[in-house]
Structure 1
């Protein structure tokens, strides 16, 4: 049973002596976790207690120290996973199951976090005004042919910072700065709104292409108002000139305190199993990570792509430089 955790006292009261419990701190929404929690409890008999946290997860764990009731943290984006590691609130986990189910580029080299699902940072393109063959690389987005035709959310948002970090990995600082300047000069309007707002702007004719995450297409299609926006665009998978399509992840890490370590490890291994991967990925229109696990039919309908094979922890290390370059070119100005 999932006990909603706005009341932190629920977890604080959980005793390490209760061998059939596991306690989670999660940035992910209840509706995404509920099917997983139900399936895990049914399979193992272990009760799952979840505290949903909007912000400050690392700070809370630091403040709680060794007395923290949390066993696992769930979050999205490599920046948040790496922040937890850098804050010293996670621990390394040794597991043959996790090593087999999670490809190397989607786990921490020191085994502090493991990816669960991926989402690609792609291009939404107008069906009426853009030939899909026109968008093949991220580098191409700086080409003057797109002048006044691109929309995007803030350059300093984590999703775009990660993309710029990937550009740094492939091309270095000088070329990345030039690319950012070219991309900025091609914007149809000042960066604003979220990824869905960019698709609405394409639908309304304000721009022709935008950057966005794949799962937003699924979210828009299930919304009666936004489905019209979604049906106005194609999902295109650009690649880096010497790499693949940029992806980010949702992931899990075991806390340093972990009072129920054995149960926490069981849940981590369960989350990377084919059964759990399909449940988790389908709930948010993401891509499962475990080898041989198929994505949801809706997700597969967008087409296939080759993910960039850089380890995401390398990109996390470039985040500071990426943010500095974004600010240097005054991307949002």
Structure 2
């Protein structure tokens, strides 16, 4: 019965596509593609199923909205837990992936980090648009508006086709390859695949399948520059690409000449740089903190310094008792 209903539904969709002369690829303005446009077929479906919106857009209904409710730790008991996520949308873990490890919500939301960061640390971040937690590793020392920073970046291992990432393959065992992530399970079933821009750090098959792909570290790498003392982000670039998984469907004649591929739709670069005024205030705070932190060492150094001076003066004074002329050293009463 279900197969019969599915066949009827496919026949209906095929008829609608032909009736409205809908093609696999459509042309719209950037504004319409991002924030939504009214679709004829969706409008017709909306008449019979009002919960389906007649509008379609990559970010339709999300302008000015948040990505959920977060519960964070303050770090009062342990500074390493500052801004660490405890719950997201009432959940302590995800339920999309096939292993408990892959469903873990780790780290912060990426807006802040704990203070006193060392370059040996691995930092964890939960970007909700990626539907999973990721980690970032130290890359290099940087200077941002005169402030010292540690550059952290997303390593290639995050989206590598390895056993560690097997839990992110949906359905289980169906891995597309390195450098891409099928997130359809958390996007209402839409065939959305996430990657870095121009398939940076992805398998060559994804790059060569699309004309115009030129992956470049300087333009397409995601990184964050963090002041190690305060944990404040000084500069960052979050770069990712939204793709659609396209394949031939025998039920729809419009896909007859389509080959299976991951097709790029758009890529996003969310960048931030601390302004000069804020950087100056932060520099003042850091300098004050460094002075306060070093007060014990300054007191110790002064103690050693004055101790050495006192010792030198004492030795010099004792040495002066043996000096003088012969008459000065002679007894006062002579016999």
TM-score using structure 1 length: 0.22
More helix, by proportion: 1
Higher Cα Rg, which structure: 2
TM-score normalized by structure 2? 0.22
